[in-house]
Structure formats: C-alpha cells, structure tokens
C-alpha cells in the first residue's frame, strides 16, 4: 500500500448514511424526489460536502444514500433542522411516510482509497454490533487485518470504517468497488476467511449487509 493509495479519494470526516426500503413507492417518483428535491436541498446546506446514491443489486427494493459531512454537528444545526422533522416538505413527508428507513449518523475512523474511486460502480455497506467484552479485539482485527485485506482485493477502490453515534448498528464499513460482484470474488472470500476472523465474527450481532450498484438517472 503506497502513500498515494491512502491519500486518494479523500473522504469527509463524518457521514449520514440512509437506507430506504421503497417497496410502497413507485420507483420513478422516488427517483424524481431524490434527484430534483431531496438531495439538491441537502447539498445546498452548509456542512454537506457531497452525496452518493446507490440501489441494491438484488431483489430488495432498497436505496442507499451516503451524505458526507464536515462534522456530525451539521445535523443539529439550524440549517438542517429547517428542512427536516416538522419542516419536511409535503413531498418528503409523503415519500418517507411510505418507506421503511434506517439512518446512521457516523464519524469516519479509517479510510483507505486509490485513485479512481469516483468511478466505482459497486458498493458494499456492512453494519453490526459487537459483544462488549469482544469489542477491543474486534477493533484490532478490523483495523489490522480485515479492512487492509479487503482493500488489497482486486477491484476494491476504497475502504471506510465508520463508528455510528446514532443508528441501530454501531460499527459500519463501506467499500467502493469497481463493480458490485467484486465482493463475490474468490479473492474476497479468501480475504474474509481467516483464523482471526473465525474467532471474532461469532461475537458480532445484528448484522446488516447491502450490495449496491451506483444509481444513474435514466435519460429522459
């Protein structure tokens, strides 16, 4: 791993990550809402750095949005409060009222990236909790073996670890991939199946896992 690998594709120090199960919303309307109102409105707020949207790469009707933030304090500031909660637009109220949503407010704790991460077409988002007496070893395994090993897999463009201050899962990892199927490759399987992983993984709980493909708006 070179210094360029570690410095490329700079990530903001905090994030709001939202998964939205839109089974009860027409996909065309969901896309219009995100593209023309919701994401532009958020990106116009001070402290919102950038946004990425992904769609699950299977039969789950789930949309994933990563909002990168200057800090988690952005989410308690007056500008954000002015467009959320009771101040949501009627369109946002209608969409969100029909969706099941998971929301994570998280600080970035580890980031490895290569040049070209902006061209990633696949994403893996993983979240979990850990038994309290196993958390110290879990953190060492994740940062010393697990994330670096996955970052070395061909097709992995970035690896990020987040610690959630709010959300059902405390530990989050996000991998930007050249294509969604990178996480199903033999090299990936080899990287995740180690003696240390076999010892630590049974101590995790409440796991969620989403494989995504980058959202591209269909041409009109």
Quick one: DSSP state of residue 170? S
- Residue 6, pLDDT > 60, answer no
Domain encompassing residue 195: 13-214
Q: Is 148 exposed, middle or buried (0-12, 13-18, 19+ CB in 10 A)?
A: middle
Report the domain count for the chain. 1
Q: What is the CATH number of the domain that holds 137?
A: 3.30.70.100
- Residue 2, pLDDT > 50, answer no
Q: Does a structural domain hold residue 5? A: no
**Residues 39-83 pLDDT 10s:** 999 999 999 999 999 999 888 899 999 999 999 999 999 999 999
pLDDT band at 1 (very low <50, low <70, confident <90, very high): very low
Q: State the Cα torsion 114-118-123-127 to the nearest 10°.
A: 70
81 within 8 A of 91, measured Cβ to Cβ: no
The arithmetic mean of pLDDT across residues 22-29, rounded, is 97
- Residue 7, pLDDT > 60, answer no
Residues paired with residue 211 on neighbouring β-strands, in sequence order: 124
The arithmetic mean of pLDDT across residues 73-94, rounded, is 97
Q: Does a structural domain hold residue 7? A: no
DSSP H helical segments within 8-85, as ranges? 27-33, 39-43, 78-81
Q: Does a structural domain hold residue 72? A: yes
Q: Does a structural domain hold residue 193? A: yes
Q: Does a structural domain hold residue 123? A: yes
Which runs of E-coded beta strand occur in 57-182?
Answer: 62-69, 100-113, 122-130, 156-166, 171-177
- Stretch (H or E) spanning 92: helix 90-97
**Residues 158-213 pLDDT 10s:** 999 999 999 999 999 999 999 999 999 999 999 999 999 999 999 999 999 999 99
* Predicted local confidence at residue 99, as pLDDT: 98
Q: Is the dihedral of CA 64, 68, 73, 77 positive or negative?
A: negative
> How many residues in the chain?
220
**Residues 118-165 pLDDT 10s:** 999 999 999 999 999 999 999 999 999 999 999 999 999 999 999 999
For 45, other C-beta atoms within 10 Å of its C-beta total: 17
């Amino acid at each position: 791993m070179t210094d360029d690998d570690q410095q490329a594709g700079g990530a903001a120090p905090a994030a709001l990550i939202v998964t939205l199960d839109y089974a009860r919303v027409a996909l065309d309307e969901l896309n219009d809402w995100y593209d023309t109102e919701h994401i532009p409105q958020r990106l116009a707020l001070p402290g919102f750095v950038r946004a990425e949207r992904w769609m699950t790469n299977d039969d789950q009707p789930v949309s994933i949005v990563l909002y990168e933030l200057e800090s988690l304090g952005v989410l308690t500031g007056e500008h954000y409060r002015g467009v959320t909660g009771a101040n949501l637009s009627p369109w946002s109220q209608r969409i969100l009222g029909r969706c099941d949503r998971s929301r994570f407010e998280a600080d970035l704790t580890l980031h490895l990236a290569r040049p070209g991460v902006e061209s990633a077409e696949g994403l893996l988002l993983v979240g979990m909790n850990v038994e309290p007496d196993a958390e110290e070893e879990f953190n060492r395994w994740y940062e010393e073996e697990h994330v670096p090993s996955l970052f070395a897999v061909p097709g992995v463009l970035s690896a990020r670890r987040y610690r959630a201050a709010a959300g059902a899962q405390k530990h989050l990892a996000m991998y930007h991939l050249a294509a969604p199927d990178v996480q199903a490759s033999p090299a990936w399987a080899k990287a995740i199946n180690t003696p240390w992983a076999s010892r630590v993984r049974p101590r995790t709980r409440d796991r969620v896992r989403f494989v995504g493909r980058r959202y591209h708006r269909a041409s009109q």
